[in-house]
Structure 1
Amino acid sequence: MEPAVSTESKYGRLNNYINGGFAASSSGRSLLVFSPIDGSLLAEMPCATTGELDAAVAAAKAAFPRWSRTPIKERVQVFFRYKYLLEQHLGELAALVSEENGKTRGEAVAEIEKCIELTEFATALPNLMGGEVLEVSKGVECRAEHVPLGVVASIVPFNFPAMVPNWTIPNALALGNCMIIKPSEKVPLSVARLALLLKEAGLPDGVFNIINGDSATVEAICDHPGIDAVSFVGSTKVAKLVYRRATQNLKRCLALGGAKNHLLVLPDAQPEMTAQNVAASMSGCAGQRCMAASAMVAVGPVDDIINRICAEARRIIPGENLGAVIDRAAKERIESYITEAEQQGAKILVDGRNYVVAGKEGGTYVGPTVIDYVRPDMAVATEEIFGPVISITRVKTLDEALAIENASPYGNAASVFTQNGGYARYVIDRASAGMVGVNVGVPVPREPFSFGGWNESKFGVGDITGKSSIEFWTRLKKSTVKWNPEAGINWMS
């Protein structure tokens, strides 16, 4: 990190990263960054000016011709080295993620390990970029090849300070683009550290730039005429706004929104495995992930499994094996959902409200919470809570459970717990979700399979990772070539 310039916070006043170096912002607007673990002040983050965004875009545009014309096999050498650096600095990066996001140490390590996997996929892109060539007529050849877009932007959320940036950084850059990234104003430290690792790996100056800011910076990115494409990950409300604003400005856009993921638990489900998976899914990363299970649909008599889920939840202790939620506003919002459900007649089986971790009284923790007898129309059953909370709705049939899942406006993930292959296939075919699991609480595909939901969990075409991302970060160039005059002229040439 850059040397701190303030004695009031651990990391001082943060800087933008433009053209290969950190540059102090002249902005008069700034936000404070606090650790959710104990409430300590980490940094002051200035909100970049439009002139600073202009400078970042100009640096990216200047770097684009040389970088885009560098053969992809040479470009990915940067990411072989970057992967090595991620491995070498795994402990340091995990500590930073935990500090600014509130994750447990194990979750932060897993996040960096996922960054490594994402980068590993990017190093394989030359094997997927051969293009197509065909002799379409005697002496006439047609070719299709993927070429970079230009300057692209990535707007990333607070819940995965390192992983979500690496959903876009390795692929977009290895494919020949130059990038402006805007980290979440709640967790700006990890991306700054990644910038230094990319530079150490040999990434040319200007190819990767960081602009800090808030919603005004997001709007400026969507409006900037020098940016060709925008990716976004965040809430559905903001994803819609970003998608509309970016596409209105004739930019390519892929905006990933929120979720309400359903776990359908059938009576024949393996009890211990199901309970462990459900509890881990609802509480991992303090429930602050768009793949978290927050709505369980109990099909028929599954009380034994519900009792086991509660037992598992009681073993999850804030400050030990459960991290903090991002800030006090999030804690209050999550707890208000629990209270409202209780007032509406739901039964709180495990209550995580008003949790304080000794020695970390300034931290923002919510304990694991299990709510039973939830009606499908309650807010806790329909809205994204983004906390370690799961609601249980009871139904008699699998079709009733699927009707509840299908009625959700979201479509990120769904899972079914059963030992019956026929039931599993029935759910896979009928769930309205882009990612479906069988006996898996968090059905995130591994590389090279892509990440992306349906419905109001995603706006735009394609997915953000894996092979599908190639279509988003490039455009097709088609060429038709004829060299031999003897072939004559026909309708094809």
Structure 2
Amino acid sequence: MKYPAVKNFIQGQFVDAENSDILNVISPVDGTHLSTVPMSTAASLDNAVSSAKAAFKFWGKTPIKERVQVFFKFKALLEKNKLELAKLVSEENGKTPDEGLAEIEKSIELTEFACSLPQLITGELLEVSKGIECRTEHVPLGVVASIVPFNFPSMVPCWTIPNAIALGNCMIIKPSEKVPLSIGRIAELLKEAGLPDGVLNVVHGNSAVVDAICDHPDIEAVSFVGSTKVAKIVYRRATQNYKRCLALGGAKNHLLVLPDAIPDMTAQNITASMSGCAGQRCMAASAMVAVGEVDHIIDKLCAEAKKMVAGQNLGAVINSESRERIENYIDEAEKMGAKILVDGRNTIVSGKEKGTYIGATIIDYVTPDMSVAKEEIFGPVISIMRTKTLDEAIAIENNNPYGNAASVFTQNGAAARYVIEHASAGMVGINVGVPVPREPFSFGGWNESRFGVGDITGKSSIEFWTKLKKSTTKWNPQAGVNWMS
């Protein structure tokens, strides 16, 4: 075992889970046994919540200008340790080293945004009547929870930890049991940055811990990132217990390619979108809609995809079950009449035979009724559907139940604007394969890609992690009495 056994992090200390089973943590890169992770029980969650409740008594009253000083220091520690953190992400998730580093760079940017929060929540003050003032201020909720997935072991926790805690909350975070190592280092670095004990607590486990989080009476809000199936369950259970909940689900992102698109740029962008992070991201290109005659672009797309070499510039998928599921999608599409232009099945990397790899895969002549056209594959696979008109392409995009992202590749401004106005997606790109907004713009989709109100990052997150207090003040007795007072 390469690393020590993973433990929960409660009251500023790594502690054993109570009476729990353990799972092995295996690297998808080469099958190395990295560690073990505990499957905690509700008792561990209770301890974490008690720790967070005690910490909130002083952390929630600490001025925000003082709270964010922790995150200035945390940002510096992320920068200082980014190569180590990137290596850890790569080992436990399967990303390439460059992708691991990019994830830490994004974590740094997210933390930097949290440092700006004092300038964004200054509240409002107005004399609403003679001698009477009204004031608004954002106050923290209390103990909150964040349930995060395997595909971004550092970045997605940094979607929630910096903002929620800088805004005065104390947090319970439940990482994916598949990638439990990065969050331990994040907790250590936050403590080194000066975060008081109990403000952040980490509880490892499986669905039993998720259920306990949704049910716990002292947790005020829950954020979730994962599949749509589980997002619905978490949202329903949390809100039935009268909690705030923002649950981000899956995606089926459509890239519309018009004949006037710049061939090289389009092919490079689509390849990067569908194969980056081995396709294991909710912003990956999963479906391409070819509008009219674009075979010249598809040819270049195939050439670019063949440059993606598993184990070099193409990372692993998370485990063998995921690899088998993805290959089954490809098999089914082929049996239904689709044409495999680039085939990534049965990929084995020399020297990493126990790794779980799939090569970049392009499937042409897909019809909207096929599973590869409708369902989230979460692998380096893109399905091409063909239409004659832009309206037909938009109809395909609109008919999918998800709504995370859509992009169009064209040099026609009117066509681009038409897609922006008609795509049923929360994030739209023009000649951009991965239209992720950068801070301070927020991240969030529509339809079955998001359950709840608001977005999880950027300015929009302030409304989720705080509640608005309104106060009306009268100090001047000479102002008299009117309907206002």
Structure 1 CA distance for aligned equivalents of residues 111 and 288 of structure 2: 34
* Residue in 2 that maps onto 1:242: 234
* Residue in 1 that maps onto 2:54: 62
* Residue in 2 that maps onto 1:470: 462
Structure 2 CA distance for aligned equivalents of residues 242 and 30 of structure 1: 24
Quote the offset at 1:452 in angstroms. 0.1
Quote the offset at 1:31 in angstroms. 1.3
SS at match of 2:60: helix
Deviations 1:265-285 (A, max 9, x none): 000000000000000000000
Q: One-letter code of the match for 2:376?
A: E
* Residue in 1 that maps onto 2:112: 120
Contact 2:2–2:34 (CA under 8 A) maintained in structure 1: yes
Q: How does 1:175-254 map to 2 (within 5 A)?
A: 175-254=167-246
Quote the offset at 1:94 in angstroms. 0.1
Q: One-letter code of the match for 2:370?
A: M
* Residue in 1 that maps onto 2:328: 336
* Residue in 2 that maps onto 1:406: 398
Deviations 1:2-47 (A, max 9, x none): xxxxxxx112321100000101123231111110001111111111
Q: How does 1:365-404 map to 2 (within 5 A)?
A: 365-404=357-396
Structure 1 CA distance for aligned equivalents of residues 322 and 19 of structure 2: 28
Please say which of residues 455-464 and 50-59 is displaced more in the overlay: 50-59
Q: Pick one of 14, 29, 47 that aligns with 1:22.
A: 14
Structure 2 CA distance for aligned equivalents of residues 144 and 204 of structure 1: 28
Q: How does 1:456-467 map to 2 (within 5 A)?
A: 456-467=448-459
Q: Pick one of 264, 268, 291 that aligns with 1:272.
A: 264
TM-score (norm 1): 0.98
Structure 2 CA distance for aligned equivalents of residues 25 and 232 of structure 1: 22
* Residue in 2 that maps onto 1:5: none
Q: How does 1:414-493 map to 2 (within 5 A)?
A: 414-493=406-485
SS at match of 1:69: coil
* Residue in 1 that maps onto 2:98: 106
Structure 2 CA distance for aligned equivalents of residues 373 and 406 of structure 1: 19
Q: How many residues align?
A: 485
* Residue in 2 that maps onto 1:362: 354
Q: One-letter code of the match for 1:406?
A: N
Structure 1 CA distance for aligned equivalents of residues 381 and 41 of structure 2: 39
Structure 2 CA distance for aligned equivalents of residues 72 and 224 of structure 1: 27
How well do the aligned residues superpose, as a CA RMSD in angstroms?
A: 0.5
Q: One-letter code of the match for 1:18?
A: I
Deviations 1:366-424 (A, max 9, x none): 00000000001100001000000000000000000000000010000000000000000
* Residue in 2 that maps onto 1:145: 137
Structure 2 CA distance for aligned equivalents of residues 25 and 174 of structure 1: 28
Contact 1:27–1:46 (CA under 8 A) maintained in structure 2: no
Structure 2 CA distance for aligned equivalents of residues 435 and 361 of structure 1: 38
Contact 1:346–1:373 (CA under 8 A) maintained in structure 2: yes
Contact 1:297–1:395 (CA under 8 A) maintained in structure 2: yes
Displacement over 3 Å in runs of 4+: none
Contact 1:182–1:211 (CA under 8 A) maintained in structure 2: yes
Quote the offset at 1:332 in angstroms. 0.2
Contact 2:89–2:154 (CA under 8 A) maintained in structure 1: yes
Please say which of residues 26-35 and 207-216 is displaced more in the overlay: 26-35
Is residue 314 from structure 1 mapped to residue 306 from structure 2 by the alignment? yes
Quote the offset at 1:51 in angstroms. 1.3
Quote the offset at 1:490 in angstroms. 1.2
Contact 1:229–1:251 (CA under 8 A) maintained in structure 2: yes
Structure 1 CA distance for aligned equivalents of residues 170 and 427 of structure 2: 30
Structure 2 CA distance for aligned equivalents of residues 320 and 112 of structure 1: 19
Contact 2:225–2:231 (CA under 8 A) maintained in structure 1: yes
* Residue in 2 that maps onto 1:75: 67
Q: Pick one of 153, 160, 164 that aligns with 2:156.
A: 164
* Residue in 1 that maps onto 2:344: 352
Show structure 2 runs of 5+ residues with no match. none
SS at match of 2:472: strand
Structure 2 CA distance for aligned equivalents of residues 26 and 421 of structure 1: 60
Q: One-letter code of the match for 1:135?
A: E
Structure 2 CA distance for aligned equivalents of residues 27 and 117 of structure 1: 38
Deviations 1:333-372 (A, max 9, x none): 0000000000000000000001000111110000000000
Is residue 288 from structure 1 mapped to residue 277 from structure 2 by the alignment? no
Structure 1 CA distance for aligned equivalents of residues 117 and 185 of structure 2: 25
Deviations 1:214-241 (A, max 9, x none): 0111001000111000000000000000
TM-score (norm 2): 1.00
Contact 2:20–2:40 (CA under 8 A) maintained in structure 1: no
* Residue in 2 that maps onto 1:34: 26
* Residue in 1 that maps onto 2:292: 300
Contact 2:42–2:208 (CA under 8 A) maintained in structure 1: no
Q: Pick one of 113, 118, 122 that aligns with 1:130.
A: 122
Show structure 1 runs of 5+ residues with no match. 1-8
Please say which of residues 287-296 and 50-59 is displaced more in the overlay: 50-59
Q: How does 1:253-268 map to 2 (within 5 A)?
A: 253-268=245-260
